Structure 1
Amino acid sequence: MTFSTLNVSILRRDLPASFVVFLVAIPLSLGIAVASGAPIAAGLIAAIVGGIVAGLLGGSPLQVSGPAAGLTVIVASLVQTYGWRATCTITALAGLLQLALGAAKVARTALAVSPAVVHGMLAGVGVVLVLAQAHVVLGGRPQHSPLSNVRELPGQLISSHSHTVMLGLLTIAVLLAWERLPKGLSPTALHWIPAPLPAIAIATLTSWALGWETPRVDLPDTLLGDWHAPALPHGRLPEIVGAVVSVAVVAAVESLLCSVAIDRARPQGVPRADLDRELLGQGAANAASGLLGGLPIAGVIVRSTANVAAGARSRASTVMHGFWVLVLALSCGPVIEQVPLAALAALLVVLGVKMIDTARVRDLRHHREAPAYFATLIGVVLLGLGEGVLLGIGISAVMALRRLTRLSVRVEQALPVPIQAMPGSPGPAGQWHVIVEGTLTFLGVPKVTKVLQQVPARTSVDLDLNVDFMDHAAFEAIHEWRVAHERQGGRVDIDEVHEGWYERAVTGDMSPPRKSSPSARWWAPWANRRRRHEELDAPDVSPSALLLAGVREYHGRTARLVKPIMAELAFEQKPEHLFITCVDSRVVPNIITASGPGDLFINRNVGNLVPRFGSRTHDDSVAATVEYATNVLDIRTITICGHSNCGAMAALLAGGTEIDHLPALSRWLKHGNHSLARFLATEPEEGVPPLTRLCQINVIQQLDNLLTYPWLRNRVEAGKLELVGLYLDLESAEVNILDRSTQSFVPVPDEAPGDTDNTRALT
């Protein structure tokens, strides 16, 4: 980007965005200062320093920093305990701590805190904020604790000041109404004005016009007119250190989470966020803010979102917004002093309610993290911010430990009909199936042994160990049960679906875990897999029984694993490739491409043929698939995959005499005549059997057949569609790719597809 282009971008995008952020920042900064019990000027200083210092030095170009509502509870407590000047010192020290953490490059570590705890903390702060500022809206003063605020609220309602209450309610009404303005009925410009500005402006004008007596903002004569050097806090050293760490960590986590959220929404061309640099920028801003008498600073999601929505493209918007706040603070003090405190309190009440995000609770319940959220929320309200966060982290740790040791054990009698008792074993016999899934440690031993004891003696047991870890206590419990069961005349067959924990313990092999035998894998044919059910061993088992046995195995092993993926795909598919291949049962597209549900849009037909455009033997089945894939699904790649020993190609070589009795197949194979003609027109290759050569030539011809469709050729020539040829050699199980320049199939290269010429569009 040239210098002139950069200037145009700043003037066209960042300058207007900076005004929008400035309009959001002014009322919020004033309100947060009031709620924190700090001087009003402290909020403006923090907004200026956050915009300029964090904007210039931070690693997230579009993030806007300033006084944050999430820190109000901490700051209010510090002001009450140590006084304002000492709180400024704590803020500066917290900034130095953030600088040290940023230099140590531990920014990512802060993100290890569970989002449930972070959002629970913000919700708790929201509750505390609402309870405290409700008293200001009613014309009173907030108490020292949330519980005191709740107790005093009824009395405050009885003795409320009418003018103050009316201004607060008017501010709330404007805030709610402004956000609900219909876009089609209101001027477009109104939607660029953030709701807090008109809400505060209307309340201020109403109070001034009607001459209402109500507490208002009190600014010093100059922004730093009553500035004093920060003072050392007096108190116990561990408590002071804890205060510094609390401010530093909470501000850092909130800033980094905000940075990650804004990074996901950044427009194209904006560089990714550097979290370590962002932490350094936040540290420098907090150190400067503390020294100048400002509030603690953090990245703020409300201002940052407004910045992105207003079209910002660089950090210039953030920096300029800080300059606008500075200009306003130096030149418009008398105007700011007309703002009623009740209006700012009402603004914070609405902001506090928004911090209690019910949608977030639904998401956390879906992921079973709601207990940590509510524990943190209640802890912040009843115990304090630090204690509530520690409580939430503790609950999260317990829940994580519980998940890591989660174990599922179920038992079922595998056969719907009884089997013959084993020779020499009087009494009951049968086939039982026990499935153990999860992490098998000593904590799960009682659960496993309880289930295994339900299995009758003298029975055959298939024990599936689908576990990612097994400790020695668990091994001993299972092994002792196995030995006892076999001693009583039973039989135990242990199948380890993943790593061979039991096998290694039995053999004493302490080498790293190895994967279980390929013969037990899901992708092996039915005939080659280990028989887990007697119904598969029966000589007269019907094909449908084999199919249903496979479905039952899918339900038992695979369905639960693919369920989350299938749930996402249930109402919409977004495949990236159209894969045209043969109906041959030996060709399994998802195996040879290592793909899963939703990846491939597949068309299978005899001989992987594509009828040419306007063919005399009319057939629209393949064309319909290609048409839907390209025009509806917007697929960008079409692959033709042939294979060795193709029966369709063998029939073409034989002249079709072997399939005369199959009229439909004979008609279909006429679409392969162009492949046969191409085969006859090319020279034989030494050492390459004729059938192999025809199978490969057929892939090349079908790619050419695709280009006979005018609309498809246009997409290929425009670079909107890529055509790829693959050839599967069944004997070696290897896939080769067509090199169009040499008209030959070559091994798939080890490099990424974008780094090789072999996967370029075959045009």
Structure 2
Amino acid sequence: MTISDDALSRRNWKSVLRHDVPASLVVFLVAVPLSLGIAVASGAPVAAGLVAAVVGGVVAGALGGSVVQVSGPAAGLSLVVAELVHTYGWRATCAITVMAGVLQLGLGWLKVARAALGVSPAVVHGMLAGVGVVIALSQLHIVLGGSPQRSALENVVELPAQILDNHTHGVVIGVLTIGVLLVWGRVPRLRAVPAPLAALMVAALTAALTGWDLTKVDLKGGFSSVEAPLMPQGDWHAIAGAVLLVALLAGVESLLTCVASNRLHDGPRADLDRELTAQGAANVVSGALGGLPVAGVVVRTTTNARAGARSRWSTVLHGVWVLLFTAAFAWVIAMIPLEALAALLLFIGVQMVNLGHVRNLRGHREIPVYFVTMAGVVLIGLAEGVALGLGLAALLALRRLAWVSVDVRQAGERRWRVVVDGSLTFLGVPRLAEALRGIPAGSAVELDLHLDFMDNAAFETLHAWRLEHERTGGVIDVDEPHGEWYSAAISGARLYPARIPPRHDRWWLPWAYRRGSRPTHSGDAGSYEVIDAGGAGGGDPDGVSALPGPQGVPDLLEGTREFQRRTAPMVRPLLHRMARKQSPSHLFITCADSRIVPNIITASGPGDLFTLRNIGNLVPRAGAVPADDSVAATIEYAVKVLEVRMITVCGHSGCGAMTALLGEVPELPALRSWLRHGRQSLARFVAEERTEDDAGPLDRLCRVNVIQQLDNLRTHPFVDTLVQAGRLELTGLYFDIGAARVHVLEQERFTPVPELRTG
């Protein structure tokens, strides 16, 4: 568990010594070789990478918004820095870093950090992958004993000649370094030492023992070799663009890493505005001291969290260790061959092309953004590639927002069904008009509008078609389950360009009622009436007519189609998460009566109720004759495997099983056998005195039956044991069908559940 800033007191110093100090040493061992390699790839002095590592640890670590994020020189910025060094020189690049830090401070003060989360991850991952490809191609030439070219394409073109003509000792050192990087992490006993550090140590020792003529890291003077920043000279528009690019790229990478760091620990959540401000302060200090730009880095942050860091002390201390090591052992760093650093960068560049990100993006159809960004970075440049990726992401988002599906199919003789899904804008008008043109004149049309938005052009097209179709004798029933865009436009109501949550005003109706609904055409386009079997308007004073006759018998398959069309898109994410396992909290035992719908009267959803239904909501007593393993097995599975916390028995008014017990059981052998389990309820009913609020014998027996079934549950030893231990609760409900009212059992009496009054 991580330690918050406020919680860090004298009593927590033991936690810092036990967890943060060891973690800081691990991060330090990872940070040193990576900082050296990134400095080389950026064309900057080697000491600049170490300065950025120290400042990123101490300044960004102490001020940052995440307790585990580690900042320092980032490989993703190496291309930008290399271009700036080539254009303006190193000291001017340091000044650009300072100005970028000031800009980040201003953005953090304005609290706009969360806006960075609006950048598509596909663009960010594509950018990093493109940078990785460029780094790998350029460093491969150094590993092979040559020099990198100016562009990725030139590096590819020159690669065959480089492979054929250069076979120096540097190639052996490079191949040896990559070999150690590949093998080191696969040996459990060697994992205590980070693979990058081990690879550079092996390369340095090999070079020292063999005496090969290799290019060594130039770190003469240590930190004293760094130079102060110098104001860049040239076009101020280009300089301002460079400042903006460094600030935004470093800021976005830091903030995305900061968000990802929340998943690595269970401590305080990251404060993004504070993190952006800290990154700005770190870049101001790093640039002023002659260091590389600073950003939050995924590799070091992940290493820090996995090493057991509990507070920001780990990040700060890792910067201190880098400072002490460079000051005291600069001569050790000077023994590292540049070919080994190039091999390390080649390995890092290949790892930046993360196929795991491609798999994650595939399900969201964002792979084109990833590859366009990556290709743009490789072939054109970093800023251009990012701009291309952002542009494509915006176009795809606009396409999704303006996407519309128009499905026209014949539903019977001279009857058609039209389903329109999505956002109906002027972009979808041609498709809509073409689809509607194929519907014969004078036919009956069911028009389902599942719309997130409808603009004026789409409304005018749709409404003009409707008027023309009705003029030729056609009939159109309009249904808008997701928001009344069309109805509101007819009535002149104000339209809000936002997604409206789905309306659930009729989903619970029986099939027959929904099949028989139609617009009243009384001027209110959103009102409906329910027609009876003969097709006339309902005359029921409550607005609901008598049940339709045989011709209104619903089609079960059509009901499943309605589920797939309306409900499935809304519940699919929920059901996907619980597809492998159910964890209901209740076992709900109720009658098989078709009028009882447990999920309606309990307002529950998928995964809440483990339901057992039978005639009369009966629970046979343990050892009862005739035996019923089905009910016992359901209770046993619910209690012992699913570990439900409550068992509810729900009876209802007008129960046919209770009617049979009071009168004569029908001549149905299986039913007669089953109703023997209700004899205890009948005996209890006869023995009890009639109460003042008794509405009749059937109503009283239905309620007594619930109480008796709860007693029957206690005859099962595994149920009774859990009830006595307080790990299982039994409760009773009674549903009055005519009043649509739920009653709860309280001390042998049923009390109506109070209604929630609004207004």
Question: Out of 596, 600, 603, which is 1:587 matched to?
Answer: 596
Shift of residue 584, structure 1, vs aligned partner: 2.4
Inter-partner Cα distance in structure 1 for 2:502 and 2:695: 35
Q: In the TM superposition, what are the counterparts of 1:639-718 in structure 2 within 5 Å?
A: 639-640=647-648, 642-645=650-653, 647=655, 650-651=658-659, 655-659=661-665, 661-662=667-668, 664-665=670-671, 668-669=674-675, 686-687=692-693, 689=695, 706=713, 709=716, 711-712=718-719
Task: Tell me if the contact between 1:463 and 1:493 (Cα under 8 Å) persists in the aligned partners.
Answer: yes
Q: In structure 1, the residue corresponding to 2:221 is in which secondary structure?
A: coil
Letter paired with 1:552: R
Shift of residue 499, structure 1, vs aligned partner: 1.6
2:17 counterpart residue number: 11
2:737 counterpart residue number: 730
Task: Tell me if the contact between 1:607 and 1:646 (Cα under 8 Å) persists in the aligned partners.
Answer: no
Task: Tell me if the contact between 1:638 and 1:724 (Cα under 8 Å) persists in the aligned partners.
Answer: yes
Shift of residue 555, structure 1, vs aligned partner: 4.0
Shift of residue 720, structure 1, vs aligned partner: 6.0
Q: Would you say 1:83 and 2:98 are equivalent positions?
A: no
Per-residue CA distance 1:547-585 (angstroms, 9 max, x = gap):
233233334444455455555555544545443333222
Inter-partner Cα distance in structure 2 for 1:595 and 1:736: 17
Q: In the TM superposition, what are the counterparts of 1:411-490 in structure 2 within 5 Å?
A: 411-415=408-412, 418=413, 430-490=414-474
Q: In structure 1, the residue corresponding to 2:118 is in which secondary structure?
A: coil
Letter paired with 1:331: A
Inter-partner Cα distance in structure 2 for 1:473 and 1:666: 66
Task: Tell me if the contact between 2:452 and 2:500 (Cα under 8 Å) persists in the aligned partners.
Answer: no
Letter paired with 2:737: L
Inter-partner Cα distance in structure 1 for 2:342 and 2:534: 77
Inter-partner Cα distance in structure 2 for 1:613 and 1:524: 39
Question: Out of 505, 514, 535, which is 1:529 matched to?
Answer: 514
Letter paired with 2:170: T
Q: In structure 1, the residue corresponding to 2:281 is in which secondary structure?
A: helix
Q: Which moved more, 1:566-575 or 1:342-351?
A: 566-575
Question: Out of 385, 388, 402, which is 2:385 matched to?
Answer: 388
2:526 counterpart residue number: none
1:119 counterpart residue number: 125
Q: Would you say 1:164 and 2:170 are equivalent positions?
A: yes
Task: Tell me if the contact between 2:482 and 2:503 (Cα under 8 Å) persists in the aligned partners.
Answer: no
Q: Would you say 1:93 and 2:99 are equivalent positions?
A: yes
Inter-partner Cα distance in structure 1 for 2:584 and 2:575: 13
Inter-partner Cα distance in structure 2 for 1:60 and 1:519: 42
Question: Out of 556, 561, 568, which is 1:547 matched to?
Answer: 556
Q: Which structure 2 segments of 5+ residues have no match?
A: 1-6, 519-530, 536-547
Inter-partner Cα distance in structure 2 for 1:741 and 1:88: 82
Q: In structure 2, the residue corresponding to 1:529 is in which secondary structure?
A: helix
Change (3 A) 1:519 1:133: closer
1:637 counterpart residue number: 645
Question: Out of 499, 523, 526, which is 2:483 matched to?
Answer: 499
Change (3 A) 1:625 1:289: farther
Inter-partner Cα distance in structure 2 for 1:6 and 1:716: 43
2:226 counterpart residue number: 227
Inter-partner Cα distance in structure 1 for 2:94 and 2:487: 63
Change (3 A) 1:276 1:611: farther
Shift of residue 619, structure 1, vs aligned partner: 2.9
1:142 counterpart residue number: 148
Inter-partner Cα distance in structure 2 for 1:559 and 1:468: 17
Per-residue CA distance 1:580-606 (angstroms, 9 max, x = gap):
333222222333444444444322233
Shift of residue 406, structure 1, vs aligned partner: 0.4
Shift of residue 341, structure 1, vs aligned partner: 1.3
Inter-partner Cα distance in structure 2 for 1:563 and 1:678: 46
Inter-partner Cα distance in structure 1 for 2:680 and 2:280: 72
2:39 counterpart residue number: 33
Q: Would you say 1:347 and 2:344 are equivalent positions?
A: yes
Inter-partner Cα distance in structure 2 for 1:238 and 1:590: 64
Task: Tell me if the contact between 1:737 and 1:747 (Cα under 8 Å) persists in the aligned partners.
Answer: no
Change (3 A) 1:692 1:304: farther
Q: Would you say 1:332 and 2:332 are equivalent positions?
A: no
Letter paired with 1:491: V
Per-residue CA distance 1:463-509 (angstroms, 9 max, x = gap):
22221221221121122222222222322222223222222222333
1:195 counterpart residue number: 195
Q: Would you say 1:323 and 2:320 are equivalent positions?
A: yes
Per-residue CA distance 1:154-189 (angstroms, 9 max, x = gap):
3322332421111111111111112333xxxx43xx
1:286 counterpart residue number: 283
1:108 counterpart residue number: 114
1:604 counterpart residue number: 613
1:256 counterpart residue number: 255
Q: Which moved more, 1:513-522 or 1:462-471?
A: 513-522
Q: What is the TM-score normalised by the length of structure 2? A: 0.87
Task: Tell me if the contact between 1:258 and 1:301 (Cα under 8 Å) persists in the aligned partners.
Answer: yes
Shift of residue 36, structure 1, vs aligned partner: 0.7
Root mean square deviation, CA, Å: 3.4
Q: In structure 1, the residue corresponding to 2:594 is in which secondary structure?
A: coil
Inter-partner Cα distance in structure 1 for 2:707 and 2:11: 48
Inter-partner Cα distance in structure 2 for 1:92 and 1:412: 64
Inter-partner Cα distance in structure 1 for 2:11 and 2:715: 45
Q: In structure 2, the residue corresponding to 1:622 is in which secondary structure?
A: helix
Question: Out of 626, 629, 636, which is 1:627 matched to?
Answer: 636
Change (3 A) 1:339 1:548: same
1:155 counterpart residue number: 161
1:236 counterpart residue number: 235
1:368 counterpart residue number: 365
Change (3 A) 1:587 1:515: farther
Shift of residue 34, structure 1, vs aligned partner: 0.8
Shift of residue 613, structure 1, vs aligned partner: 4.9
Inter-partner Cα distance in structure 2 for 1:516 and 1:523: 17
Inter-partner Cα distance in structure 1 for 2:745 and 2:10: 47
Inter-partner Cα distance in structure 2 for 1:18 and 1:748: 59
Q: Which moved more, 1:95-104 or 1:589-598?
A: 589-598
> What is the number of equivalent residue pairs in this alignment?
725
Shift of residue 623, structure 1, vs aligned partner: 3.6
Letter paired with 2:431: K
Inter-partner Cα distance in structure 2 for 1:15 and 1:89: 34
Letter paired with 2:508: W
2:521 counterpart residue number: none
Change (3 A) 1:648 1:530: closer
Shift of residue 130, structure 1, vs aligned partner: 0.7
Question: Out of 61, 64, 70, which is 1:55 matched to?
Answer: 61
Q: Which structure 1 segments of 5+ residues have no match?
A: 419-429, 751-763
Shift of residue 517, structure 1, vs aligned partner: 12
Inter-partner Cα distance in structure 1 for 2:284 and 2:734: 64
Change (3 A) 1:401 1:515: closer
Q: Which moved more, 1:63-72 or 1:601-610?
A: 601-610
Shift of residue 122, structure 1, vs aligned partner: 0.8
Shift of residue 123, structure 1, vs aligned partner: 0.8
Task: Tell me if the contact between 2:77 and 2:249 (Cα under 8 Å) persists in the aligned partners.
Answer: yes
Shift of residue 400, structure 1, vs aligned partner: 0.6
Task: Tell me if the contact between 2:743 and 2:751 (Cα under 8 Å) persists in the aligned partners.
Answer: no
Per-residue CA distance 1:188-246 (angstroms, 9 max, x = gap):
xx3333221222221221111111211111113232x1233211111222211211111
Task: Tell me if the contact between 2:24 and 2:314 (Cα under 8 Å) persists in the aligned partners.
Answer: yes
Change (3 A) 1:12 1:528: same
Per-residue CA distance 1:256-280 (angstroms, 9 max, x = gap):
111211202314xx11112122222
Q: In structure 1, the residue corresponding to 2:365 is in which secondary structure?
A: coil
Task: Tell me if the contact between 1:462 and 1:532 (Cα under 8 Å) persists in the aligned partners.
Answer: no
Change (3 A) 1:532 1:292: same
Change (3 A) 1:542 1:353: farther
Letter paired with 1:204: A
